[in-house]
C-alpha cells in the first residue's frame, strides 16, 4: 500500500521510510509524484500546520496521506523556535545557519538550563477524507557545539535524555527508536493496522 507523505524535507522522508520498513506500506513523497503544490504553513500550532499540509496534498491525490509538522522547543528561549524551526534565520538559511544561531543565543546558558524537546504532530487522512492526529515528543538538551553528521535540521545540537551524544552522532537507527517522529509514527502504524488488513507484499 502506498502512503503519500506530504513533505519536501528529504530527512523526514528517509526516517519515515525506515519506520515503515516491514509494515507493507511504502512511502511516496511529493517529489516522487511529480507535481508540486503550494502549502502555506501559517498555522499557530504544529497541529494546525500538519492539518494544512495533509489537507492540501490529500485534496489533490485522494490517497492515504500523512503530514508531519515538527520543531524544537528550547526552554531557555521560551519555547522558541518551535513552529518557526524551519524558517529561523529566513528562507535562504541552511541547517548550519540555524543551529549556529541557536548555539549563539544560548551561549551563556549552563547545562542544567539547556533543556529542550523535539515535538512532532502528524495528520493522517484516509482516501475518504477522514483525519486523525498523532503526536510524539522527545526530551533532551542542547549541546554546546554541533556534533555528528547524520540526520538533518537541529540533529547535531540535540542530545536526547539519557544520552551524551547528539542525534547526528547516534544515527538513524538509534534516533528512530525513540525520537518525536518515531513516537508519532508508531501510533500511525498501529492505527493503520486497525484500518487496513495487512497488505499483500507484492502490491
In contact, 27 and 20? CB cutoff 8 Å = yes
Structure-block grid coordinates of residue 158: 540535540
- Closest to ligand ITT by CB, 24 or 133: 133
User: Residue 32, class by beta-carbon neighbours within 10 Å (0-12 exposed, 13-18 middle, 19+ buried)?
Assistant: exposed
166 binds ligand ITT (CB under 6 A): no
155 binds ligand ITT (CB under 6 A): yes
Contacts with ligand ITT, 80-119, as mask; x by CB under 6 A = -----xx-------------------------------x-
Q: Which of 36, 69, 111, 126 is catalytic?
A: 69
Q: Which of 136, 140, 151, 160 binds ligand ITT (CB under 6 A)?
A: 151
Distance CA 178, CA 54 (A): 24
Provide the 10 A C-beta neighbour count for residue 80: 17
Of 149, 176, 160, nearest to 114 by C-alpha is 160
Nearest distance, CB of residue 130 and ligand ITT, angstroms: 21
Query: What's the Rg (C-alpha) of the chain?
Result: 17
181 binds ligand ITT (CB under 6 A): yes
70 binds ligand ITT (CB under 6 A): yes
97 is annotated as an active-site residue = no
| H helical segments located in 106-179 | 167-170, 172-178
68 binds ligand ITT (CB under 6 A): yes
Active site residues: 69
Contact footprint for ligand ITT (CB under 6 A): 7-9, 12, 41, 53, 68-72, 85-86, 118, 151-155, 179, 181
Amino acid at each position: 500500500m502506498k502512503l503519500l507523505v506530504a513533505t519536501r524535507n528529504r530527512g523526514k522522508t528517509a526516517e519515515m521510510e525506515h519506520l515503515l520498513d516491514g509494515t507493507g506500506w511504502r512511502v511516496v513523497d511529493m517529489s516522487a509524484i511529480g507535481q508540486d503544490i503550494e502549502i502555506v504553513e501559517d498555522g499557530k500550532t504544529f497541529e494546525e500546520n500538519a492539518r494544512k499540509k495533509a489537507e492540501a496534498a490529500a485534496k489533490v491525490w485522494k490517497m492515504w496521506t500523512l503530514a508531519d509538522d515538527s520543531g524544537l522547543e528550547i526552554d531557555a528561549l521560551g519555547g522558541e523556535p518551535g513552529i518557526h524551526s524551519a524558517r529561523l534565520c529566513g528562507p535562504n538559511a541552511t541547517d548550519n545557519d540555524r543551529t549556529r544561531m541557536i548555539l549563539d543565543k544560548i551561549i551563556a546558558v549552563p547545562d542544567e538550563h539547556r533543556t529542550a524537546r523535539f515535538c512532532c504532530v502528524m495528520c493522517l487522512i484516509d482516501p475518504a477524507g477522514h483525519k486523525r492526529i498523532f503526536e510524539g515528543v522527545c526530551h533532551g538538551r542542547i549541546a554546546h557545539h554541533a556534533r555528528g553528521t547524520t540526520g538533518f535540521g537541529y540533529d547535531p545540537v540535540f542530545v536526547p535524555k539519557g544520552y551524551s551524544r547528539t542525534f547526528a552522532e547516534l544515527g538513524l537507527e538509534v534516533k528512530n527508536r525513540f525520537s518525536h517522529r518515531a513516537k508519532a509514527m508508531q501510533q500511525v502504524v498501529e492505527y493503520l493496522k486497525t484500518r487496513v488488513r495487512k497488505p499483500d507484499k507484492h502490491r
